[in-house]
Structure 1
Amino acid sequence: MMTTRPPFRADMVGSLLRSKPLSDARARLAKGEIDAAALKAVEDAEIRTLIGKQEAIGLKGITDGEFRRAYWHFDFMEKLDGIEAITADSGMNFKGGVGIAKSLRITGKVGFSGHPMLEHFTFLRDNVSPGSTAKMTIPGPSMLHYRGGRKMINMGVYPEMEAFYADVGSAYNKAVHAFYDAGCRYLQLDDISFAYLCDPEQREMLRARGDDPARQPEIYAGMVREALKDKPADLAITMHLCRGNFRSTFIASGGYEPVAEGLFNAMPVDGYFMEWDNDRSGGFEPLRFLPKGKHVVLGLVTSKTGTIESKDDLKRRIDEASKFVALDQLCLSPQCGFASTEEGNTLAEDEQWRKLELIVETAREVWG
């Protein structure tokens, strides 16, 4: 049967390919040809169009496509208290050597004292139709540490890492409650670190910089638990995991087995968006750890290419997954966003929409 509470049987991760009018407006702003108010007017118009397209194909969880962001993560984190954005190699190079020349430095006590994305959410909230649910996506709390590690955290501010982890958890807790107070009832934490920790290369990277990859999953889970402390009962929280998504490239590989038991049982979230669009993600066996009452959204449709999946293949893979967990605990989505950064993945807009339509059609046929 279909679900009335998120995650939905047919769902999507969050980001969508930026439209041409939006991309053109951003380029004009960069050249000084328009001001921020003119850009916002274009964003507003394009997001209204985007909402209508999502609703027209039958999606229930509606996002703004992250149309006001350049990056899925930096745009949120750099507006927290104590964070400074800098031009630097983030240390997260994608396969093929592609890097992002931006990083974050912790220069003061991490905190939350308001955020521009609250207004982004209220615009979305006010423009979805009755019967739709406005979905907000923010990076998970571990991303502030995973991206740069100890070297990006001021020793004078945080001589001990425990205080840093505690402050991040507390800041996120304030953020979660602020979004709830703004009317958000579907909030997603994008937290790639748990999937990266399944990759031996990534674990070695952490070890080389002084972290203990065996301890990090529980440290990160502790931040999530703090972020969701006293979570309102009617706020649905999901977590998205992937292995990197920038211009159709990736960073990590490896099945979920090393983190699955803790991932599913140590964090008070309602559902998990998990990448399973190719062999890099391993098999469905880790689903055996999923407790009753939680859902996994199977990311079987790739956002990295325009090739349209076969409906029969999707149904076969859902059937394979249901050997390890009840079908009623499963949903369907793309494996990641279509544009984790404003550059977007290498597929066309019509291919993106066809994939989302396919997800809705398949979900209706599988779950009724």
Structure 2
Amino acid sequence: MHLNPPFRAEHIGSLKRPAALLQKRKELDDGVITAEELLPVENKAIDNIVKMQQEVGIKSITDGEFRRHMFYDGVFDNLEGMTYLPDVPLHMFMSYVPDTAAFKHHSFKKAASYICEGKLRRTKPFYKSQFEYLKSITSPEEHGDIKITVCAPEWFHLRHGPYAYNKEVYKNDVEEYFDDVAKAYQEEIQELYAIGCRNIQFDDPLLAYFCAESMIEGMIEQGVDHAKLLDLYIKVYNQCLEGKPDDFNVGVHLCRGNFRDGLHFSEGGYDRIAAKLFNEIKADCYYLEYDTERAGTFEPLRHLPRDKSVVLGLITSKFPQLEDVEELKQRINAAAETIASGVEPRSKEEALNQICISPQCGFASHADGNPVTEADVVKKLSLVVKTAKEIWSDA
């Protein structure tokens, strides 16, 4: 099986921002400096973080999301028809969504967000400049392995439900709204491919929320058909990927929240969605959180088909403590045994060849990051590489 990308030793995307970058970003937010003045600071930080990945042995190079405030930046903030609202009333955030429920619990009165108020059009690239800068600081041999992380297409729709888009524009037709969303992603993928990108990763905690009983119960209480909505989101993914070239690798990352201080928003294994996730979404690989019991057991991996791979997020990015290599190897072998005895039986060797490993999430989904240092990040990623090399000779 071809696993390049993803590689045996992966990382999710966001990395710990250096203090100098955080300070300059604060100055930008405060109006002290301009975006042009921030740019060289970002570039230097990205130069250093790419060098770190190369030295550690992580081959799927990212820019650490150092040009973003939040992991989902890039699409809807650049899409014509979307409007940034700094003070969205909380009734426009769906209470059944685990992260918005957490904000309401902490007595937030309003929150910033994007709402669709006009017809959606992609009038400019989303991630082109981020990819081009990474190309400029890596060798030609590495260009095909650069990984760009992208926003999930249903991000603002799940959060805002009936308030997500203007009913006068889309006549209360959610499929017409998503047709335009999907068209924008298709155009972005084609442009990224044309400039040499071969590897993207959708960051999608929302799909994992469908594993949470709290969200399912909340949807039922509000008359939302959760099964129908999940099917719609799967359809949207496949629309977004229509026409993608065969040698363009698409991964989907699912986690349960990784906010400041390692805060998570939901719990529940992948059992409820595994069959659809692995067999209906036309992705190539899945990055799954598996560092704590909140993610459930390996049993859902029984549904993994032979032509896809899974990246097990066995190493936490939330805290600095290092995992034990031998325990990690035992868990990898246990996952392989589960896949081997699954819906499509196969040898353990074949199943093991479908597995890669990574941290369970990024180290800084939010710019402020988790309670880990830059040195901790190096140790964690080094552990990923060390474990992979002890399991697979091609790592």
- Sort the TM-score into its range (normalised by shorter chain): over 0.9
Q: Deviations over 1:306-342 (max 9, x none)?
A: 1111111111110110112211100000001110110
What is the letter of the counterpart of residue 150 of structure 1? Answer: P
In the alignment, is the contact (CA less than 8 A) between 2:126 and 2:188 conserved in 1?
no
TM-score, normalized by length of structure 1? 0.95
**What CA distance in whole angstroms lies between the structure 1 residues aligned with 2:173 and 2:28?**
42
The answer on 1:114 being equivalent to 2:139 is no
How do 1:184-195 and structure 2 match up within 5 A? 184-195=197-208
Q: CA deviation at 1:4?
A: 5.4
Question: How many angstroms apart in 1 are the aligned matches of 2:217 and 2:168?
Answer: 27
Aligned position for 1:367: 392
Q: What residue number does 1:238 align with?
A: 251
For structure 1, which segment, 86-95 or 62-71, has the greater mean C-alpha deviation from structure 2 after superposition? 86-95
Tell me the distance in 1 between the aligned counterparts of 2:221 and 2:193.
Answer: 39
Q: How many angstroms does 1:210 deviate by?
A: 4.7
- The one-letter amino acid of 1:323's match is E
Contact 1:287 1:321 in 2 (8 A): yes
Structure 2 residue ranges without an equivalent (≥5): 340-350
AA matched with 1:148: H
Structure holding more helix per residue:
2
> How many residues align structurally?
367
* Residue from 165, 173, 185 that aligns with 1:153: 165
Assess if the C-alpha contact under 8 Å between 2:279 and 2:304 holds in 1: yes
Stretch of structure 1 that moved more, 239-248 or 23-32: 23-32
The aligned runs of 1:69-108 (5 Å cut-off) are: 69-87=68-86, 88=88, 89=90, 90=93, 92-93=99-100, 97=105, 101-108=111-118
Alpha-carbon displacement from aligned partner over 1:81-133 (angstroms, at most 9, x marks no partner): 21112223555347584579322101112232222521111101221234432
CA contact (8 A) 1:196 1:202 kept: yes
Q: Describe the shift of the 1:131–1:154 C-alpha distance in structure 2 as closer, same or farther (beyond 3 A).
A: same
Q: For residues 139-288 of structure 1, what are the structure 2 equivalents within 5 Å? A: 139-158=151-170, 159-247=172-260, 248-288=262-302
The two structures have a TM-score, normalised by structure 2, of 0.89
Aligned-residue Cα RMSD (Å) equals: 1.8
Unaligned residue ranges in structure 1 (runs of 5+): none
Query: What is the identity percentage for the equivalent residue pairs of Structure 1 and Structure 2?
Result: 38
CA distance in 2, matches of 1:318, 1:306: 21
Alignment-mate amino acid for residue 120 of structure 1: Q
Q: How far is 1:77 from its partner?
A: 1.8
Query: Is contact 1:60-1:131 (8 Å) kept?
Result: no
Residue 101 of structure 1 aligns to a residue whose secondary structure is strand
Give distance in 2, aligned partners of 1:193 and 1:82. Answer: 23
User: Following TM superposition, by how much is the alpha carbon of 1:256 offset from its aligned partner in structure 2, in angstroms?
Assistant: 0.4
Shift in alpha-carbon separation, 1:170–1:22, aligned structure 2, 3 A: same
Distance, in Å, in 2 between the alignment partners of 1:94 and 1:59 is: 36
| Distance change (3 Å), C-alpha of 1:345 and 1:148 | same
SS in 1 for 2:263: coil
Q: Does 1:138 align with 2:150?
A: yes
**Which stretch shows the higher mean deviation, 26-35 or 221-230?**
26-35
Question: C-alpha distance in 1, partners of 2:7/2:359?
Answer: 13
